[in-house]
Amino acid sequence: MDSEIIVNKEKLENSPLEINYLGDRSLRQSAKRVSKVDNDIRQLVRKMLQTMYTADGIGLAAPQVTVQKQVIVIDCEPDNSATPPLVLINPTIKDYSNDTCLFQEGCLSIPGVYLDVKRPSTIEVAYKDENGRPQTLQAQELLSRAIQHEIDHLEGKLMVDYLSTLKRDRIRNKLNKRI
């Protein structure tokens, strides 16, 4: 019952939140653990889903919308109404594979920039779902990527942090000219 409100992609009303861009302070602060998964948290999740779908992203972390809480939404198949989005509250990575892979990442907070980032291929993550129930998940491929990218956001980390400072400054300059 509770989760029904957030899995129906067509029924989300259209009032997205504003997404913060590189340079915004909230992207650099670490998010606080959620002590109780209540209706306020579920309302935040709904808003985050609206925002993610409107922005055509496959994931969103609360600090991207200036909420310093450990809340993540992910949907690797946004156009498939049969697959529900994933909601991860207080996620922790329990295990990483030793093998790594390169994958080209994008970020809604760094629009137009796509970077090859090296990360562990597969992960095991523990979290609470939107009903406050503890869950664990083995993730690979795009889902593994998205989860690692979003957990970085909760720690104030961005994909440009994997670059040299020279390359990062070039991207910052490029963005400042454009915005």
Give me the phi and psi of 150, to 5 degrees please. Answer: -70, -40
Nearer to Ni ion, 71 or 107 (CB): 107
End-to-end CA distance of the chain: 42
**Binding residues for ligand GNR (CB under 6 A):** 57-61, 64, 105-109, 145-146, 149-150, 153
Nearer to Ni ion, 132 or 156 (CB): 156
Q: Which of 4, 105, 124, 150 is catalytic?
A: 150
Q: Which of 16, 15, 18, 23 is nearest to 113 (CA)?
A: 23
Rounded least distance, CB 96 to Ni ion, Å: 20
Give me the phi and psi of 104, to 5 degrees please. Answer: -80, 115
Q: Which does 106 bind (CB under 5 to 8 A by kind): ligand GNR, Ni ion, none?
A: ligand GNR
Q: Which of 165, 32, 10, 149 is nearest to 78 (CA)?
A: 10
Nearer to ligand GNR, 60 or 89 (CB): 60
Rounded least distance, CB 165 to Ni ion, Å: 20
Q: Is 10 a catalytic residue?
A: no
- CA distance linking residue 98 with residue 159, whole number of Å: 20
Q: Enumerate the active-site residues.
A: 150
